[in-house]
Amino acid sequence: MKRWNAKYPRRFDLDSNEDYLKWRDEKLAAYPKNVGELVVELGDMTAMTPAEKARILETVERANMCVYTAGSAELEMNSLLALGQQLGVRHTDKSARHAQSDELTDSGILNRAIPFSTRHCNWHTDATYYGSDNTIQALFLLCKRPAVEGGSNKVLDHEVLYIQLRDKDPGALEVLMNKDCFNYRNPATGEIDLHRGGKVFWTNADGHLCHRFSFRKTDMAWSGDSDVAAAGHVLESLISDESAYVIEGRLESGMGLISNNVLHTRERLVDSDDAAKKRLLFRARFYDRVNPE
């Protein structure tokens, strides 16, 4: 383990460069170069061995994510929740939501929201609309059936995005770390909820970096302040440029993603006409994060 959080506690402090510069070089050198470097094979995701767990924690520390194979476990929601338990994440948002909202398939639920369709999802972190005081810190997926074609994900560790922004435009980063940047807006009524807004980057109580972002504007009201708008544009262009640190891969049946809610896309897909063969991924979102120490 790198133990960066203990070694460089001020790496996200914009008033100090010493920890940041050392951590940045180590972080970028250790960052996985392709999806293969993210994969950890498990014998049974519901009963990991200590060595398997150590490999997951080490990979998550390097990239805030890893791709795993389920092994002999059943491909179902309970296996995903059991995986979370073993990694210390257990506080989900399930009780507050539509019963089928964690089955990602072309069901057309929630007014045909994009995750429940075959359309492309642009870059986002999950549950941005909860606000920065009530953030989903971990996002787990488990694929039962992939699409006939397409449906891959691009992923980017938000700590890498932080580094790119700090090096390119630290003033923009300062705005995104301190100001109330965007709030939830009810798409049906246009009403803005000031209790579900906040920053774009911030650190949690343990000193880890949190991030919330989405290109979607229908349910997100960005501040009209000129410095926030300018900083938002810098961030959006950095994400759109898709640097060499973006990793792309497709989850096949029996594969999944463990992540500290990293930025991701979902590419467009072609699905089966047979309802029983449609793409199906289970999703769990947690208020806790993997690697809390």
Minimum CB distance to Fe ion, residue 124 (Å): 6
Which tokens sit at 172?
């923009």
| Chain centroid offset of residue 279 CA | 20
Q: How many helices (H) and strands (E) does the chain have?
A: 8, 17
Q: Which region, judged by CB under 5 A, interacts with Fe ion, from 8-16, 88-96, 120-128, 186-194?
A: 120-128
- The residue type at 220: M
C-alpha distances in Å from residue 282, one per residue of 67, 213, 216, 251? 14, 22, 23, 12
User: Of the two residues 106 and 126, which places its CB atom closer to Fe ion in the complex?
Assistant: 126
CB of 72 to Fe ion, least distance (A): 28
Query: Nearer to Fe ion by C-beta: 53 or 119?
Result: 119
Q: For the CA atoms of the chain, what is the radius of gyration?
A: 19
Nearer to Fe ion, 124 or 166 (CB): 124
Least separation, in Å, of the C-beta of 126 and Fe ion?
5
CB 257 within 8 A of CB 154: no
Structure tokens given for 231: 């900083």
Alpha-carbon distance 269 to 130, whole Å? 28
Tell the residue number behind the tokens 């019963």, with chain if given.
Answer: 99
* SS3 at position 263: strand
Residues in contact with Fe ion, total (CB under 5 A)? 1
Q: Tell me which stretch binds Fe ion (CB under 5 A): 38-46, 55-63, 126-134, 172-180.
A: 126-134
Q: Which residue is nearest to Fe ion (CB)?
A: 126
Distance CA(163)–CA(116), nearest Å, equals 33
What does the angle CA 107 – CA 146 – CA 103 come to, to the nearest 5 degrees? 35
Q: Which range in 69-77, 119-127, 155-163, 221-229 contacts Fe ion by CB under 5 A? A: 119-127
Whole-number Å distance between alpha carbons of 151 and 200: 27
Touching Fe ion, residues 48-107 (CB under 5 A): none
Minimum Å gap between C-beta 54 and Fe ion is: 28
**Quick one: which segment of 46-54, 124-132, 234-242, 251-259 binds Fe ion (CB under 5 A)?**
124-132
How far apart are CB 262 and Fe ion at their closest, in Å? Answer: 10
Min separation Cβ 226 and Fe ion, Å = 30
Q: DSSP label at 97? A: S
Nearer residue to Fe ion within complex by CB, 127 or 228: 127
Q: 59 or 128, CB closer to Fe ion? A: 128
- Select 24 or 279, whichever has its Cβ closest to Fe ion: 279
Cβ of residue 266: shortest distance to Fe ion, in angstroms? 7
- Nearest C-alpha neighbor of 62 from the set 142, 136, 128, 4: 4
Please select the residue that binds Fe ion; options are 61, 126, 159, 271, rule is CB under 5 A.
Answer: 126
Binding site for Fe ion (CB under 5 A): 126
